[in-house]
Amino acid sequence: MVPKAEGGYASAMADEPLDVYLNDHLGGAMLGSDLAEQIRDRSEGTPLGEVMTRIADEIEQDREALLELMDKMGTERNPVKQVGGWLAEKASRVKFSGIGSGEPDHGMFMALETLRLGVAGKKCLWLALERVRDSHPALAETDLTLLISRASAQEETLERERLAAGERALAATSEA
């Protein structure tokens, strides 16, 4: 605990807006990494499985890059946000399995859409950090251009796969 100016104490963890922002994205990165692996595993032996093998590896590399950046900046990890991301991914297993709707294609479509949105959020993180890189020495050591480029490529790939999955899922439901 650290003293607050107005009296009392506050947690030393995540007092800075950038620390909070990075921890928010770490929770999302954990969810995204686990979700990408979930999609990869469910698609094993298919063309989507091959695509997701690469995407899942890249998303994990991006999560590790975020962790490394947080370490360089001295940002403590917020365990509550990490557990929140972990719990959300575990809950998504039921939602995206198709058990609720009885349609596995619909579950895969929703999983791909969720992951695609997560990658868009990750790209927003890298773009925002690029804007303030001169204010934080650790950012200057991080290849944000590579991370932005990789997120853009992931977005394009996931959007293509999402649309294909959506066509299968939504066409199937309209035949009933």
How many other CB atoms are there within 10 angstroms of residue 133's CB atom? Answer: 14
Q: What six digits make up the tokens of 87?
A: 């719990």
**Residue 5, in any domain of the structure:** no
Please list the ranges in the chain whose pLDDT falls under 70.
Answer: 1-15, 79-103, 172-176
What secondary structure letter does DSSP report for 3?
E
- How far is the C-alpha of 33 from the C-alpha of 55, rounded, in Å? 9
Q: What is the pLDDT of residues 70-119, one digit of tens each?
A: 999 999 887 666 666 666 665 565 555 555 556 678 889 999 999 999 99
**Residue 114, in any domain of the structure:** yes
Torsion of CA 54, 56, 60, 63, to 10 degrees: 110
User: What is the per-residue pLDDT for 107?
Assistant: 87
Q: What is the pTM of this model?
A: 0.81
Cα–Cα nearest to 119, from 44, 62, 54: 62
CATH code, domain carrying 134: 1.20.1260
**Residue 99, in any domain of the structure:** yes
- How far is the C-alpha of 22 from the C-alpha of 15, rounded, in Å? 12
- How far is the C-alpha of 92 from the C-alpha of 140, rounded, in Å? 36
Number of domains in the chain: 1
Q: 77 lies in which domain range?
A: 16-174
- How far is the C-alpha of 131 from the C-alpha of 176, rounded, in Å? 50
**Residue 6, in any domain of the structure:** no
